[in-house]
C-alpha cells in the first residue's frame, strides 16, 4: 500500500476507538482518520472531528447527527451522515483503505460485512459480528480479498504466533492446539455467593483492562472468553476441541500456539490495546504504539490455572452454542447482549445472565445461517425470548407496589 492509509474508525468514541485515534495521531505521515462513526455521543465525536478533520462523521442516532452538524458548522468541513446506512457507506467507500470495526455488539455486523464485501483491510475488534455470522463474514472476505486482522488481544497474539502464509492468511502447519488466555475477570477469586450478589460497578471494575461496559461484564461472566473461543474458530479455521482456555490473571501472555514438536510460541506485552491496534494498522510492519516496554523482572511471576465452569457457566453455554453450530451462536450472542444490558440497568442479578442465555438457547430453533437476514431473524427471536426471561428474573418491583 502506498501513500497515506485512509482509515474509517467505526465506534470511534469507545475504548477501542479512542486508542485507535491515539495510534493514528502518532503517525500522521502514515494514517489519516478519513471517517469517524459512533452512536450518539455528540460531544466526543465533535471533539474528535475538530482534532482529526475527517472527511465524514457518522452518528447513527438522527437527532445526534443533527446536533453534530450544528456543532461543526463553521468549525470544520466534515460532512455529517445520519443513520446505520451511513456506517455501511463509509465502510465500503472506495477511498477507504482500512476499517477499524470497533462498534460494540450486533450493531457492528452490517458495517463489518460491508467492509468485507468491499475487500477492505478490516481491523476486527467487534467480535460479536464473527460470533453471529462467522461463516458469512469469512466467506465474504475470501471472495472479495478482504484482509481480516484480529484486534482482540488474544487473537492478535495467536495471529502473530501462527505460521504466516505468503498472502497473510495464517496457516495451521504443525500446529497442535491454540491456548487462549483469560484474565479470569474481577470475580476470579470470589465465592459463588459473592458472585450472585455482584453489582454492575463491581463487574465493570476489571483488574487489568479499561474497556467498555458490555465487554467488561462479558469478562466478569467469562462469556467474553466463550465469544473469543468462537471467534478463534472462525478466524483460524480450527475446531473448538483444538482451543484450550487457560486463566492467566496478569494478562501479560496474550495467548499461545502449541506445535507438534513441543514448541509453544506466545506473544507477551503490557495489557494495552494500542499494541494489537498498532499491529493491525502497520501490518506487515511494526510501528510505535506508545506502549511502555514490558519489565519482566518487575513482574517476576506469571500464573496460570484452569477456568472454573461451575462458577462461570457462560463459558459452557458458549461451547454448547459452538457445538450446536448454525444460528445457535447468533442466539447466544443476542441473548447475552439483552441480559448484560438488563444487568447493567439494574433489572436482573448477575446469575440471571447465564439463566437468560440458557433459556434462549433452549427455545430458539437452530437453522443454517445462509444469509444475513436469516442471522438477523435468529438474533431478533433470541432477543424477544431473552426479554421475556429478563422480565421473569427482574429484581425491580412490579407496578402497583407488589413484588
Residues forming the site for ligand NAD (CB under 6 A) = 11-17, 38-39, 41, 60, 102-104, 107, 125-128, 152, 209, 211-212, 214-215, 273
Binding Mg ion (rule: CB under 5 A), the pick from 8, 48, 113, 152 is 152
- DSSP letter, residue 293: P
What is the distance of C-alpha 174 from the center of its chain? Answer: 28
Query: Among the residues of 145-222, which ranges form H helices?
Result: 153-161, 192-196, 200-203, 213-221
Query: Minimum CB separation from Mg ion for residue 82, in Å?
Result: 31
Under the binding rule (CB under 5 A), the answer on residue 128 touching Mg ion is no
What is the grid cell recorded at 114? 460491508
Query: Minimum CB separation from Mg ion for residue 152, in Å?
Result: 4
d(CA 23, CA 275): 9
Binding-site partner at residue 102 among Mg ion, ligand NAD, none, CB < 5 to 8 Å by type: ligand NAD
d(CA 38, CA 10): 6
Beta partners for 35?
8, 56
Binding-site partner at residue 122 among ligand NAD, Mg ion, none, CB < 5 to 8 Å by type: none
Query: Minimum CB separation from ligand NAD for residue 337, in Å?
Result: 10
What is the number of residues in the chain?
403
Query: Minimum CB separation from Mg ion for residue 153, in Å?
Result: 5
In terms of Cα–Cα distance, which of 243, 239, 130, 201 is closest to 344? 201
Within 10 A of 139 (CB to CB), how many other CB atoms are there? Answer: 12
Contact between residue 2 and residue 9 where contact means Cβ atoms under 8 Å apart = no
Query: Minimum CB separation from ligand NAD for residue 206, in Å?
Result: 9
Q: Under rule CB under 5 A, how many of the chain's residues touch Mg ion?
A: 3
DSSP string spanning 22-86?
A: HHHHT-TTTEEEEEEEESS-HHHHHHHHHHH--SEEEESSHHHHHHHHHHHTTT--PEEEESHHH
Q: What angle do CA 86, 27, 76 make, to 5 degrees?
A: 45
Query: Minimum CB separation from ligand NAD for residue 329, in Å?
Result: 15
Binding-site partner at residue 209 among Mg ion, ligand NAD, none, CB < 5 to 8 Å by type: ligand NAD
**Residue 315: CA count within 13 A, CB half-sphere:** 21
Please enumerate in sequence order all residues whose Cβ is within 8 A of that of 3, keeping only pairs 6 or more positions apart, or say none. Answer: none
Query: Minimum CB separation from ligand NAD for residue 279, in Å?
Result: 13
Q: What are phi and psi of 237, to 5 degrees?
A: 55, 50
Query: Minimum CB separation from ligand NAD for residue 261, in Å?
Result: 31
Q: Which is nearer to ligand NAD, 125 or 161 (CB)?
A: 125
Residue of closest CB approach to ligand NAD = 14
Query: Minimum CB separation from ligand NAD for residue 149, in Å?
Result: 13
Q: Which is nearer to ligand NAD, 108 or 359 (CB)?
A: 108
Residue of closest CB approach to Mg ion = 152
Contact between residue 178 and residue 191 where contact means Cβ atoms under 8 Å apart = no
Binding-site partner at residue 212 among ligand NAD, Mg ion, none, CB < 5 to 8 Å by type: ligand NAD
Instruction: Outline where DSSP puts E strands in 77-128.
Output: 79-82, 98-101, 121-124
Beta partners for 257?
178, 265
Binding-site partner at residue 11 among Mg ion, ligand NAD, none, CB < 5 to 8 Å by type: ligand NAD
Binding-site partner at residue 71 among ligand NAD, Mg ion, none, CB < 5 to 8 Å by type: none
Provide the mask over 12-51, with x wherever binding to Mg ion is found by CB under 5 A and - wherever it is not. Answer: ----------------------------------------
Binding-site partner at residue 215 among ligand NAD, Mg ion, none, CB < 5 to 8 Å by type: ligand NAD
Query: Among the residues of 204-327, which ranges form H helices?
Result: 213-221, 223-236, 274-282, 296-299, 314-324
d(CA 62, CA 58): 10
Q: Which is nearer to ligand NAD, 119 or 212 (CB)?
A: 212
Q: Which is nearer to ligand NAD, 129 or 327 (CB)?
A: 129
Q: Which is nearer to ligand NAD, 39 or 316 (CB)?
A: 39
Residues within the interface to Mg ion (CB under 5 A): 152-154
Amino acid at each position: 500500500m502506498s501513500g497515506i492509509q485512509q482509515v474509517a474508525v467505526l465506534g470511534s468514541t469507545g475504548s477501542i476507538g479512542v486508542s485507535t485515534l491515539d495510534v493514528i495521531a502518532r503517525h500522521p505521515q502514515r494514517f489519516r482518520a478519513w471517517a469517524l462513526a459512533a452512536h450518539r455521543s455528540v460531544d466526543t465525536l465533535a471533539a474528535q472531528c475538530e482534532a482529526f478533520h475527517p472527511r465524514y462523521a457518522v452518528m447513527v442516532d438522527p437527532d445526534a447527527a443533527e446536533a453534530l452538524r450544528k456543532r461543526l458548522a463553521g468549525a470544520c468541513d466534515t460532512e455529517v451522515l445520519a443513520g446505520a446506512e451511513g456506517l455501511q457507506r463509509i465502510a465500503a467507500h472506495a477511498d477507504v483503505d482500512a476499517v477499524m470495526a470497533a462498534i460494540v455488539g450486533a450493531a457492528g455486523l452490517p458495517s463489518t460485512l460491508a467492509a468485507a464485501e468491499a475487500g477492505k483491510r478490516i481491523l476486527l475488534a467487534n467480535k460479536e459480528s464473527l460470533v453471529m455470522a462467522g461463516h458469512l463474514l469469512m466467506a465474504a472476505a475470501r471472495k472479495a480479498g478482504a484482509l481480516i486482522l484480529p484486534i482482540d488481544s488474544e487473537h492478535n497474539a495467536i495471529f502473530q504466533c501462527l505460521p504466516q502464509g505468503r498472502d497473510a492468511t495464517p496457516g495451521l502447519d504443525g500446529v497442535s492446539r491454540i491456548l487462549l488466555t483469560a484474565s479470569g475477570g474481577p470475580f476470579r477469586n470470589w465465592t459463588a455467593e459473592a458472585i450472585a450478589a455482584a453489582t454492575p460497578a463491581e463487574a465493570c471494575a476489571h483488574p487489568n483492562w479499561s474497556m467498555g461496559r458490555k465487554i467488561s461484564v462479558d469478562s466478569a461472566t467469562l462469556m467474553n472468553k466463550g465469544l473469543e473461543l468462537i471467534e478463534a474458530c472462525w478466524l483460524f479455521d480450527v475446531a473448538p476441541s483444538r482451543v484450550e482456555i487457560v486463566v492467566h490473571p496478569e494478562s501479560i501472555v496474550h495467548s499461545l500456539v502449541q506445535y507438534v514438536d513441543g514448541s509453544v510460541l506466545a506473544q507477551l506485552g503490557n495489557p494495552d490495546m494500542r499494541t494489537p491496534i498498532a499491529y493491525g494498522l502497520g501490518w506487515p510492519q511494526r510501528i510505535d504504539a506508545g506502549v511502555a516496554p514490558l519489565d519482566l523482572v518487575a513482574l517476576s511471576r506469571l500464573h496460570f490455572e484452569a477456568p472454573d465452569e461451575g462458577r462461570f457457566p457462560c463459558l459452557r453455554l458458549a461451547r454448547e452454542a459452538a457445538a450446536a453450530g448454525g444460528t445457535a451462536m447468533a442466539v447466544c450472542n443476542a441473548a447475552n447482549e439483552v441480559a448484560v444490558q438488563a444487568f447493567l440497568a439494574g433489572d436482573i442479578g448477575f446469575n440471571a445472565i447465564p439463566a437468560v442465555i440458557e433459556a434462549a438457547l433452549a427455545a430458539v430453533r437452530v437453522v443454517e445461517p445462509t444469509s444475513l437476514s436469516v442471522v438477523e431473524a435468529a438474533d431478533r427471536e433470541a432477543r424477544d425470548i431473552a426479554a421475556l426471561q429478563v422480565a421473569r428474573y427482574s429484581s425491580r418491583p412490579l407496578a402497583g407496589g407488589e413484588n
